Amino acid sequence: MNLERFVHWFRQAGPYINAHRNRTFVVLFGGETVEAEHFSSLIHDLALLDSLGVRLVLAHGARPQVEARLREAGRELRYVNDLRLTEAEDLRYVKQAVGRVRIRIEARLSMGLANSPMHGARLRVASGNLITARPLGVREGVDYGFTGEVRRIDDRAIRSWLDQDAIVLLSPLGYSPTGEIFNLSAEDVAAAAAIALRADKLLVLTESPPLRDPAGQPVRELSPSDAARLLAEHPTLPEETARHLRLALRACQAGVRRVHLLSRQMDGALLLELFTRDGVGVLITADIYEGSRPAAIDDIGGMLALIQPLEEEGALVRRSRERLEMEIERFSVLERDGAIIGCAALYPFAEERLAELACVAIHPDYRNRGRADTLLRFIERQARAQGLLRLFVLTTRAEHWFRERGFEPAEVADLPVRKQALYNWRRRSKVFIKTL
């Protein structure tokens, strides 16, 4: 073990630990995950999240187990629109398979052997009749039998269990007011739970290969509109990938802020996604009302309204409208309901693989609410996409803000040669550099 690397990572994880404490996460995993080699590791990671104060709701599937049980009983497997038709005789085998998976998960969450990651965890698991379901009925001439959909989630009961530091486990079975049992989609259960609980995150462990862009690079972030466009333009996407993108869209449109699609084959995917800067999965964010984007020429009026008061205070170097128009491709803006509430510029020095972060401005009504952090993350992603390794900033007023976000003090001599020649010694700006 590289001890220095571990210490560095642990320190870097501190802000994420603080940010995730007392947050509600819904985690979806299929029956394949339960049978996988890394399932014990996943349980250990879930126990760790619980110990860090994360409120966990687990939604599990059981498709391979149900299929295996039906085959053993000599029953025919019939699917329409990726949903299994469940006849009355099939239902008892479904209950058997789901019950076995649920018991297995509860048993793993109950482990506490000495010299194991679960030692001292003492996890409490709560489950029960938390899902009210209704039948799918007859659709397009197909009778789905006892295959159903979520009608209502008992979010009050779930919140009560979470308040008592329990992990809530949701199985893909639902109950009707008439006492009937319905076979449900695990994705439907997870989405309904995340929406009802207004979960901070919905994390989906998937079997599908990672999404890649046309250049073959892994896709790390999508907006809901991007996800919808991907589904519309690529009808040949793997069925599970399409299903999980539709799940993410449904959740985002209903108010879930973040949906993460993670490969279950990667050991530690949950921890890597939640406690590292770049993550390892695909993040789909509900960034419709407010978000960061590259600046356009029509944004200059709003940018000037932000910049000019700071120029008059001496916090920013003066920029004319003409200069902004000439350098507009260097700027990014933070937009809220059509209004420009933040801006920043990125000036790359490709030879040194270094870039300047400049002209950071946030509207006074929106300061101290994390908007500048959002804009900084957007700029950092741009810099990484251009192959840049470090960011530098010159500031006279915001030293502590930049230091709190990983910028380290540096000297003028550490700047690119071209920037050194332009350095204003009368202004005496302090230099800070951050490794991306």
Q: Where are the beta strands (DSSP E) in 2-91?
A: 24-29, 55-60, 79-80, 83-84
In a domain, 1, yes or no: no
User: Are residue 336 and residue 251 in the same domain, yes or no?
Assistant: no
DSSP state of 160: H
User: Are residue 254 and residue 172 in the same domain, yes or no?
Assistant: yes
In a domain, 186, yes or no: yes
User: Are residue 304 and residue 427 in the same domain, yes or no?
Assistant: yes
Per-residue pLDDT, averaged over 360-370, amounts to 86
pLDDT tier for residue 122 given thresholds of 50, 70 and 90: confident
In a domain, 5, yes or no: no
pLDDT value at 224 more than 80: yes
Per-residue pLDDT, averaged over 223-245, amounts to 87
The residue assigned the tokens 């590791």 is 41
User: Are residue 213 and residue 146 in the same domain, yes or no?
Assistant: yes
- Final residue before a domain boundary, out of 270, 285, 300: 285
Number of domains in the chain: 2
Question: What is residue 146's predicted lDDT score, i.e. its pLDDT?
Answer: 92
User: Are residue 355 and residue 375 in the same domain, yes or no?
Assistant: yes
In a domain, 301, yes or no: yes
Better-predicted residue by pLDDT, 4 or 358: 358
Per-residue pLDDT, averaged over 153-171, amounts to 96
270-300 pLDDT, tens digit each? 999 999 866 889 999 865 446 788 999 999 9
In a domain, 4, yes or no: no
User: Are residue 215 and residue 314 in the same domain, yes or no?
Assistant: no
Question: What is residue 416's predicted lDDT score, i.e. its pLDDT?
Answer: 93
User: Are residue 313 and residue 296 in the same domain, yes or no?
Assistant: yes
User: Are residue 20 and residue 59 in the same domain, yes or no?
Assistant: yes
Q: Residue 158: helix, strand or coil by DSSP?
A: helix
- Final residue before a domain boundary, out of 252, 285, 318: 285
Q: Rounded to the nearest 10 degrees, how much is the dihedral formed by the CA atoms of 141, 143, 149, 152?
A: 100
pLDDT value at 249 more than 80: yes
Per-residue pLDDT, averaged over 96-121, amounts to 82
In a domain, 204, yes or no: yes
CATH number at residue 52: 3.40.1160.10
User: Are residue 66 and residue 109 in the same domain, yes or no?
Assistant: yes
Q: Which of 312, 347, 355, 309 is nearest to 331 (CA)?
A: 347
In a domain, 3, yes or no: no
Q: Which of 123-137, 150-164, 223-237 has the lowest mean pLDDT?
A: 223-237
CATH number at residue 372: 3.40.630.30
User: Are residue 280 and residue 136 in the same domain, yes or no?
Assistant: yes
Question: What is residue 54's predicted lDDT score, i.e. its pLDDT?
Answer: 96
Question: What is residue 116's predicted lDDT score, i.e. its pLDDT?
Answer: 62
- Final residue before a domain boundary, out of 242, 257, 285: 285
Signed CA dihedral, 302, 303, 306, 312: sign only:
negative
Report the percent of the chain where pLDDT is more than 70.
Answer: 95
Cα-flanking dihedrals φ and ψ of residue 200, to 5°?
Answer: -75, -30
pLDDT tier for residue 113 given thresholds of 50, 70 and 90: low
pLDDT tier for residue 104 given thresholds of 50, 70 and 90: very high
pLDDT tier for residue 126 given thresholds of 50, 70 and 90: very high
pLDDT value at 112 more than 80: no
What's the pTM? 0.69
User: Are residue 238 and residue 324 in the same domain, yes or no?
Assistant: no
DSSP string, 380-433: HHHHHHTT--EEEEEESS-HHHHHHTT-EEE-GGGS-HHHHHH--TTTT-EEEE
In a domain, 2, yes or no: no
User: Are residue 332 and residue 405 in the same domain, yes or no?
Assistant: yes
Range of the domain at 407: 290-435
Q: Which of 335-339, 406-410, 419-423 has the lowest mean pLDDT?
A: 335-339
Per-residue pLDDT, averaged over 327-356, amounts to 90
Residue 268, by phi and psi: left (phi above 0), alpha (psi -120 to 50) or beta?
left
pLDDT tier for residue 367 given thresholds of 50, 70 and 90: confident
Q: Which of 10-19, 258-267, 303-312 has the lowest mean pLDDT?
A: 10-19
